[in-house]
């Protein structure tokens, strides 16, 4: 397993971490297999999405805020219930195939760390199961 850190710039953000994940995959030496990505945080998640047009990520964040508003009478005393709910909805882990020593993702796809309670420093764990 390889761990790397990501500093998030603001409260809500979607950060492309594809290059860092591919470096972590290469470090583990598997040419083919399954890559598990995990963020050990309750107010962040990890997704695969388009990484070419920045409007996609801003549209996603805007729609997520509409679905789960920041203020909605939550009881959680820390004031970050929105972040916990969004993290649970999007998930803290994903699996992506590995082929030829790197992620087998589509041309316009990237691996994204989603931040819902930043700015913070987040950990990403990358494990590759070779096959």
> Would you say 38 and 93 are in contact if contact means Cβ atoms under 8 Å apart?
yes
Q: What domain range is 64 assigned to? A: 2-71+78-130
What is residue 98's predicted lDDT score, i.e. its pLDDT?
A: 98
User: Hey, which residues does 74 pair with through a beta bridge?
Assistant: none
What is residue 50's predicted lDDT score, i.e. its pLDDT?
A: 95
For the chain, 131 residues long, give each residue's pLDDT as a single digit of tens: 999 999 999 999 999 999 999 999 999 999 999 999 999 999 999 999 999 999 999 999 999 999 999 888 999 988 899 999 999 999 999 999 999 999 999 999 999 999 999 999 999 999 999 98
What is residue 72's predicted lDDT score, i.e. its pLDDT?
A: 84
Alpha helices (H) along the chain: 18-28, 54-67, 81-90
What is the CATH number for 52?
2.60.120.460
- If one counts the domains in the chain, the total is 1
């Amino acid at each position: 397993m390889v761990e790397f850190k990501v500093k998030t710039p603001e409260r809500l953000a979607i950060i492309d971490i594809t290059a860092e994940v591919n470096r972590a995959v290469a470090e583990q030496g598997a040419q083919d297999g399954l890559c598990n990505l995990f963020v050990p945080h309750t107010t962040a998640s990890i997704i695969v999405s388009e990484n070419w047009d920045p409007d996609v990520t801003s549209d996603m964040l805007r729609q997520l805020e509409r679905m789960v508003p920041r203020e909605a009478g939550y009881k959680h005393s820390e004031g970050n219930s929105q972040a916990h709910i969004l993290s649970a909805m999007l998930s803290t882990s994903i699996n992506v195939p590995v082929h030829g020593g790197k992620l087998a993702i589509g041309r316009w796809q990237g691996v994204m760390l989603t931040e819902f309670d930043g700015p913070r420093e987040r950990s990403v764990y990358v494990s590759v199961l070779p096959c």
